[in-house]
Each structure stands twice: as C-alpha cells, then as structure tokens.
Structure 1
Amino acid sequence: MGAWYWWMLLGMALVTYIPRAFPLTFLEGKELPSVISGVLRNIPFAVLGALIFPAILYVQAGNLLFGIIGTISAFTLAIISSNVMVVVLGTIAILAGYSLLF
C-alpha cells in the first residue's frame, strides 16, 4: 500500500471524528434552543428521504409500482412512528411481502 492510502485513511478519520468531537467538547452541559433541537431531530428523516428518492424510479428492473409502494409505505410509517429504524425495517418488510406475493 502506498503512502496515499494512509493519508486518505487519516483524512477520512479526521473528517469523521471532528464533527462528532466538536459538539461533545464545546456543547457539553449546554442546552440547545428548541428550534435547533427540532431541526437536529428531523435530520435522519431528511437524509433517509434524500437517499431513497432517487432510487424510487430505478428499482426492481424498472418496476415503478414497487418504488411507489415503498414510498407510500415509508411515508406512512414515518407519520405513524418517529423511529427511523421502524420506518426502514417496516418498509423492507412491506416490500418483501409484496415481492413474495407478486
């Protein structure tokens, strides 16, 4: 392995570590305003939506209905539950059941 590999590994470690260490170091014991807390609480859903939406049109060899069912089930589960894992696992279960039936 070349030196570029180790520099890249070190760079990725720093880019991952700094955003996680900064809040723990400088915001410890401080309470965030409710607006910022609300935004931070919704980031996982926003990221999940940004990751899923482009794939809706390119799933199951072009079967658009599969993507639409997945989207509707994810939105429904997101409205019902506030847990990201429930949304992800529930949507996977619904689409697995759909693919078994059809």
Structure 2
Amino acid sequence: MIIATIIGMAIVTMVPRFLPAFIMNGLTLKPWVNRWLNAIPFAALGALIFPGIMYVIDDRPLIGILGGVVAAVIALFNVNVIFAVIGSILTVYLLTM
C-alpha cells in the first residue's frame, strides 16, 4: 500500500510538470510573452535570495546588503556566477572580522 501511495504521488506531481511541455510544443507565443516568461526565473531567484541577504548576520543586515551589492556589481560585468558568489562571500567575511 505504501508503494502504491508513493507511485500515485509521483504521478500526480509529474503530470503538471510534463503536461505544459507537451502543450507548449505546438504553440508560438508573441515576443512580449516570451520576454515575460524569461524574466520569471530572475524574479523567483530575487524573491528567494533577498530575505537571506537580510539575515546573514543577526542584528547586522547592512553586512548582508553590502555582500549582495558586491555580487550585483560583479554580475554586471557578465563574468561567471562563481565570481559573484566568491566576491559576496569575501565581502561578508571581511566585514565580520
């Protein structure tokens, strides 16, 4: 019974993930819709990352904000994302010393 429940939950989870891929395969969208859909991952990342920036160190949110600003500035130069991550980590580390 447990195996059947796990398989059932897997199917229910997979259907909404795979169905749009098959439906959208035959459709062509307007360019503004494509631009809007391409922006969603960035908005989701911002919503996930920003609260974490505020609480890097309790009672000192400015340190996290400065680390985020350093990461954003590095990212503006279109370098590999690992450099933005390392830059923000080093900034937070140096400010907490």
TM-score bucket (shorter structure): 0.5 to 0.7
Q: Say if 1:73 and 1:94, in contact at 8 Å, map to a contact too.
A: yes
**Pick from 38, 61, 76: which aligns with 1:64?**
61
Deviation at residue 42 of structure 1 after TM alignment: 0.8
Is residue 91 from structure 1 mapped to residue 84 from structure 2 by the alignment?
yes
Is residue 75 from structure 1 mapped to residue 72 from structure 2 by the alignment?
yes
The equivalences for 1:1-102 within 5 A come to 3=2, 7=5, 10-11=8-9, 14-15=12-13, 17-77=14-74, 79-81=76-78, 86=81, 89-98=82-91, 99-100=93-94, 102=97
- Which is greater in Rg? 2
TM-score by length of 2: 0.67
TM-score by length of 1: 0.65
Q: CA RMSD in A?
A: 3.2
d(CA) in 2 for partners of 1:73, 1:6:
50
Gaps of 5+ in 2: none
CA distance 1:34–1:26, shift in 2 (3 Å): same
Q: Say if 2:68 and 2:88, in contact at 8 Å, map to a contact too.
A: no
Aligned residues: 95
d(CA) in 2 for partners of 1:90, 1:31:
36
Deviation at residue 67 of structure 1 after TM alignment: 1.0
